[in-house]
Amino acid sequence: MASFRDELGQLLGEAVARAIVTPGQANQLIGLSDTIPAKHGAGFGRLAKALTLIGGFGVALGLILLFGANWWDISDIAKLAGFVVLFLALHLGGLWIRWKHPDYSGTAEAFNFVGAGLFLGGVALVALVFHINENPRNGILAWLLATLPLAFSLRSTSLFGMALVAALIWGPWKFTDFALVQGMDLEVNWGFAACVPFAMLAIAPFVERIKFSVGTMCHIVAGIMIAVALYLLGFLRHMGRYGFNSYIENPERFGVWMTALLCIGLFLALVSCLARRGPKRLIDNAYLALILGTAGLFMFAAAIISGWIDPGETVERFNFSGASMATFQAHSLIASGLAWLLWFFWGVWFVFAGSAWERNGLVTLGVYGVAFGLVTRYFDLIGSLQETGAYFVVGGIVLILAGWGAEKCRRRLTGKARSEEPRS
């Protein structure tokens, strides 16, 4: 990979050829880049952060294994005391680094992240030593209440992400208790889980005003939840073959709650998208359309599962692995197909968004997403080999055309930038 200096040299060479700068100015700029310190070593900075995080995890795992290997020989009080000492050492170490060596913020972040994770481990250890089984939800709640204030006081994105995970575990779990007491079915959790990612997408733009990347974390977690749901919906036709009653105690009630919660989540997401200022580009409009489409698919699936929509006529298709024919319900087959389409559309959107915003990470995510979807569908044959082969060929041609279109777009944008006069 070319260093910054090499790339600067190439750029200045082009600039000299076009008489934008003189050779003397180009040499001065290269000389100046040599004197500016490690700010340009961003790659090494990222490597250092990654190494310290991995090292932190390694130390934590190693300590856990050492404890486990000597578990018999360590007394209960020694285990508990050792945990408290380790917990304090990690957190205080992170604070000390932030205070004395603020340049090593990545290392400090790793220390505090492991320390916050160790809190949950400590709760589990105390429960294990004293055989406490009741209310494991309270342990998760304690973890959430311990991590969230630290995340805000240290302005830590990773700690906020951890708190978000804790909230997403505790929330549906606690909602189960509420549902039980109210006489509702446990599957209401599904509706709750379906609403949460949309709500997070909705609040993300508003919380981005906070100094650390809370909004980004909301997007990431919401994206993961939607991706998992979409991926699973791709297999809905298999679940629907013999009816959904074996999975859900009261499908009708499930449908009511899921639809209500999805509507709330969708409303919040729409408000968020429409409230953003500035011109709406094609990428933003496509994002909005995909959000609407995804929420619509979730509602369609909920309606099928709850029995509001007739399952449709029986259709015969090749089963999983293509070894035999099987019967599916038409509507759940359609929902599965829509889920696959949306999966690929999201993948392609990430590729375009990454290109438009110059974020290679998004492009990579999109490419891997599409590839993962292709591999899954390869094994999960929808029809005969001939039919599936045809779908893959058509889909592949669409992607090639999309790539050609993206390249054309890129060249047009690059040409437009070149034709503009440089600022003085």
The answer to whether residue 62 forms part of the interface with another protein (CB under 8 A) is: no
Question: Quick one: which segment of 1-9, 33-41, 85-93, 258-266 binds another protein (CB under 8 A)?
Answer: 85-93
CB-CB contact of 310 with 331 (8 Å): yes
Query: CA 361 to CA 351: how far, in whole Å?
Result: 9
Question: Quick one: which segment of 5-13, 17-25, 210-218, 406-414 binds another protein (CB under 8 A)?
Answer: 210-218
The answer to whether residue 192 forms part of the interface with another protein (CB under 8 A) is: no
Question: Quick one: which segment of 88-96, 261-269, 297-305, 311-319 binds another protein (CB under 8 A)?
Answer: 88-96
Complex with another protein: residue 269 or 305, whichever CB lies closer: 269
- In the complex, the smallest distance separating the C-beta of residue 364 from another protein, rounded to whole angstroms, is 16
Question: Quick one: which segment of 26-34, 66-74, 336-344, 387-395 binds another protein (CB under 8 A)?
Answer: 66-74
Binding mask 314-353 for another protein (x = CB under 8 A): ---------------------------------------x
The answer to whether residue 205 forms part of the interface with another protein (CB under 8 A) is: yes
Query: CA 212 to CA 261: how far, in whole Å?
Result: 29
Complex with another protein: residue 157 or 319, whichever CB lies closer: 157
Complex with another protein: residue 254 or 300, whichever CB lies closer: 254
* Residues between 364 and 423 that touch another protein (CB under 8 A): none
The one-letter code for the residue type at 371 is: A
Q: Which tokens go with 326?
A: 């099987």
Query: CA 164 to CA 116: how far, in whole Å?
Result: 13
- In the complex, the smallest distance separating the C-beta of residue 253 from another protein, rounded to whole angstroms, is 15
Query: CA 112 to CA 151: how far, in whole Å?
Result: 10
The answer to whether residue 119 forms part of the interface with another protein (CB under 8 A) is: yes
The answer to whether residue 361 forms part of the interface with another protein (CB under 8 A) is: no
The answer to whether residue 208 forms part of the interface with another protein (CB under 8 A) is: yes
Residue 251: count of CB within 10 angstroms of its CB: 19
Query: CA 175 to CA 118: how far, in whole Å?
Result: 26
What does the DSSP assignment read for 262-273?
HHHHHHHHHHHH
The answer to whether residue 160 forms part of the interface with another protein (CB under 8 A) is: no
The answer to whether residue 80 forms part of the interface with another protein (CB under 8 A) is: yes
Complex with another protein: residue 113 or 300, whichever CB lies closer: 113
The answer to whether residue 216 forms part of the interface with another protein (CB under 8 A) is: yes
The answer to whether residue 88 forms part of the interface with another protein (CB under 8 A) is: yes
The answer to whether residue 166 forms part of the interface with another protein (CB under 8 A) is: no
Residue 73: count of CB within 10 angstroms of its CB: 7
* CA distances, 220 to each of 160, 198, 199, 214, 275 (Å): 12, 12, 13, 10, 21
Residues 6+ apart with CB under 8 A from 12: 21, 26, 29, 30
CB-CB contact of 262 with 306 (8 Å): no
- In the complex, the smallest distance separating the C-beta of residue 115 from another protein, rounded to whole angstroms, is 8
With CB under 8 A, what is the number of residues at the site for another protein?
55
Q: Which tokens go with 348?
A: 């392609």
CB-CB contact of 147 with 159 (8 Å): yes
The answer to whether residue 56 forms part of the interface with another protein (CB under 8 A) is: no
- Nearest Cα neighbor of 244 from 259, 228, 233 is 233
The one-letter code for the residue type at 70 is: N
- In the complex, the smallest distance separating the C-beta of residue 155 from another protein, rounded to whole angstroms, is 6
Within 13 Å and on the Cβ side, how many CA atoms surround 112?
A: 30
- Nearest Cα neighbor of 158 from 203, 97, 194, 115 is 115
CB-CB contact of 221 with 208 (8 Å): no
Binding site for another protein (CB under 8 A): 68, 71-72, 80, 83-84, 87-88, 91-92, 95, 98-99, 102, 105, 115, 119, 122, 124, 126, 128-135, 142, 146, 149-150, 153-155, 177, 179-181, 183, 186, 204-205, 208, 211-213, 215-216, 219, 276, 284, 287, 353, 357
